[in-house]
Amino acid sequence: MQKITNKLNSVIFMQNVGLRYDKGPEILSDIKMSLKKGSFHFLTGKSGAGKTSLLSMMYLAQKPTRGSVSVFGQNVNFANRDNLAMLRRKIGVVFQDFRLIDHLTAFDNVALPLRISGMDEREVKQRVNEMLEWVGLSRNINSITSTLSGGEQQRVAIARAVINRPELLLADEPTGNVDNDIAFKLMNLFVELNKLGTTVVIATHSEKLISEFNYPRLHLQNKGLRIYYPKDDTGLEKEDEKD
Ligand SMILES: Nc1ncnc2c1ncn2[C@@H]1O[C@H](COP(=O)(O)OP(=O)(O)OP(=O)(O)O)[C@@H](O)[C@H]1O
Ligand SMILES: [Mg+2]
């Protein structure tokens, strides 16, 4: 009963999850987690530990090769294409490699989710301009994205992922290409979004951000996942024993 309750209350629920590519060995094994609505987690682990792979199951690009993954209470193994498309509309993703539409302007990339949702063009214009200004790209609104620097493209990707206030935000090293000041500003954007109810998972290598922002950490090591909570008064990091 406890497990069923967990699954229904969770935005992301994984149990006995294993993932392998083609006929290779499992790169993730026996993953379990239950991320509650409105939670904020960092996702850490060495390069190659499987952060992007874990996120790809969360944004429904990858199905587990064993075990079950539920997103918004829907088991992805039993979801058809329409179900998956509906779930994806609730998720904002910042890809590690950005995946912008290169020949479009920053404005048009960020406007895309709003236009797809049928928003009035005047409101699109206002929202997109505001967002691009907020991430420090007011000078680049009409630049073709392929002409922007890596850090600028990363901020366009972030703006596109958050513009629709998604229910779930998955960001894969979203501050990997920007300096410290901008990284903190972007983190604050994620914090604000979280305060409005968005569930957030941020993959990062930045110990600085992790120690500055006191959120639990999903840590991948040896194909498995452990959850650590922020340091308590004793100064010790506590491992999750609850779920
Ligand atoms: N499409 C794929 N086909 C085959 N193997 C893959 C594929 N994608 C990832 N892998 C392998 O899975 C493992 C985990 O990769 P993943 O990209 O998830 O790691 P990561 O933690 O995101 O690393 P990084 O910090 O460098 O981004 C690696 O050994 C990688 O080579
Ligand atoms: Mg990665």
Instruction: Note the pLDDT tens digit of each residue in 155-173.
Output: 999 999 999 999 999 999 9
Is the Cβ–Cβ distance between 162 and 193 less than 8 Å? yes
Instruction: Note the pLDDT tens digit of each residue in 207-230.
Output: 999 999 999 999 999 999 999 998
Mean local confidence (pLDDT), 172-198: 96
- Domain covering 38-63+80-239, topology: Rossmann fold (3.40.50)
Domain spans, the chain: 38-63+80-239
Instruction: Note the pLDDT tens digit of each residue in 110-123.
Output: 999 999 999 999 99
User: In DSSP terms, which residues pair with 12 in a beta bridge?
Assistant: 35, 71
pTM of the model: 0.93
Residue nearest to atom 2 of ligand 1 (CA): 21
Residue nearest to atom 27 of ligand 1 (CA): 47
Is the Cβ–Cβ distance between 48 and 74 less than 8 Å? no
Distance CA 219, CA 223 (A): 10
Instruction: For residue 33, report the distance from its CA to the centre of ligand 1, in Å.
Output: 20
Residue nearest to atom 1 of ligand 1 (CA): 21
Ligand 1 atom, smallest distance to 205 CA:
25
Point out the ligand nearest to the CA of residue 43: 1
